[in-house]
């Protein structure tokens, strides 16, 4: 059985949980207490030397990083619907995984971290400016389509969804982003959708 190491406050862990649920895959969940620093324990560092969740174990396979795990699950269990093989389609999906790990992580995700844990290492003004920029780009992109790419849900949507849906935790309002909000509702209506704290269900 698959084994997922994570923590309930992590949007990156949640995107993996969401994908597993959408595919109807059973897994064992192992909670890592981030507050107590369990992610830095010698035992956990053997699984991920960077000391971060999520980590997914599938037999002898050990994967770290939420974007990489989404790719693994899609290739192993999800098929081309979630991650296409064709070069142009694949590149468009991967672009959003990069945005999730870059602009979204340093924007909304960072601002959320600031407010949830009072992180002194985060410049909240810069994080929120980045968050607004991403939301504006996402709103424009979604004004002409229902899903981020290819006309149907892919792991691009799953990579981007969590921290956009958690914008309230970052003290960022989604009022005025009608296309983003409509897209969030579409994701929430996918068969097998599961939520997490901070994300309201439809």
Quote the pLDDT of residue 64. Answer: 96
The answer, yes or no, to whether residue 71 has pLDDT greater than 80, is yes
pTM: 0.95
CB contact set of 194 (below 8 Å; sequence gap of 6+): 17, 18, 21
Summary mean pLDDT of the chain: 95
Burial-class residue 101 by CB neighbours within 10 Å (0-12, 13-18, 19+): middle
Quote the pLDDT of residue 35. Answer: 80
The answer, yes or no, to whether residue 161 has pLDDT greater than 70, is yes
Q: What is the pLDDT of residues 130-142, one digit of tens each?
A: 999 999 999 999 9
Burial-class residue 173 by CB neighbours within 10 Å (0-12, 13-18, 19+): exposed
Share of the chain above pLDDT 70, in %: 100
Task: Give 33's pLDDT tier (boundaries 50, 70, 90).
Answer: confident
Share of the chain above pLDDT 90, in %: 87
Rounded CA gap, 164 and 18, in Å?
14
Q: Which of 43, 40, 69, 42 is nearest to 54 (CA)?
A: 69
Task: Give 125's pLDDT tier (boundaries 50, 70, 90).
Answer: very high
Quote the pLDDT of residue 202. Answer: 61
CB contact set of 72 (below 8 Å; sequence gap of 6+): 56, 58, 61, 63
Handedness of CA 171, 176, 177, 182 (dihedral sign): positive
Question: Per the omega criterion (within 30 degrees of 0), is the bond before 54 cis?
Answer: yes
Q: What is the pLDDT of residues 75-107, one digit of tens each?
A: 999 989 999 999 999 999 999 999 999 999 999
- Helix (H/G/I), strand (E/B), else coil: 82: coil
Quote the pLDDT of residue 159. Answer: 98
Task: Give 186's pLDDT tier (boundaries 50, 70, 90).
Answer: very high
- Helix (H/G/I), strand (E/B), else coil: 76: helix
* Domains in the chain, CATH or no CATH each: 2-78 (3.40.30.10), 87-188 (1.20.1050.10)
Q: What is the pLDDT of residues 50-70, one digit of tens each?
A: 989 999 999 999 999 999 999
Q: Which of 128, 130, 110 is nearest to 120 (CA)?
A: 110
Cα 29 to Cα 26, 74, 184, 189: the distances in Å are 10, 19, 26, 24
The answer, yes or no, to whether residue 72 has pLDDT greater than 70, is yes
Rounded CA gap, 77 and 23, in Å?
8
């Amino acid at each position: 059985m698959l084994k997922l190491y994570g923590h309930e406050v992590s949007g990156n862990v949640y995107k993996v949980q969401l994908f597993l649920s959408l595919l109807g895959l059973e897994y064992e969940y192992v909670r890592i207490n981030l507050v107590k620093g369990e992610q830095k324990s010698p035992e956990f560092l053997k699984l991920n030397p960077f000391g971060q969740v999520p980590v997914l174990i599938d037999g002898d396979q050990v994967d770290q990083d939420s974007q990489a795990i989404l790719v693994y699950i899609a290739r192993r269990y999800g098929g081309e619907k979630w991650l296409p093989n064709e070069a142009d389609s694949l590149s468009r999906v991967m672009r959003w995984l990069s945005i999730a790990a870059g602009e979204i992580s340093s924007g909304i995700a960072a601002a959320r971290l600031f407010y949830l844990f009072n992180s002194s290492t985060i410049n909240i003004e810069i994080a929120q400016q980045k968050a607004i920029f991403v939301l504006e780009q996402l709103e424009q992109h979604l004004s002409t389509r229902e899903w981020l790419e290819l006309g149907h849900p892919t792991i691009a949507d799953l990579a981007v969804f969590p921290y956009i849906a958690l914008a309230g935790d970052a003290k960022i309002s989604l009022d005025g982003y009608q296309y983003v909000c409509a897209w969030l509702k579409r994701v929430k209506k996918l068969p097998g959708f599961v939520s997490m704290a901070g994300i309201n269900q439809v």
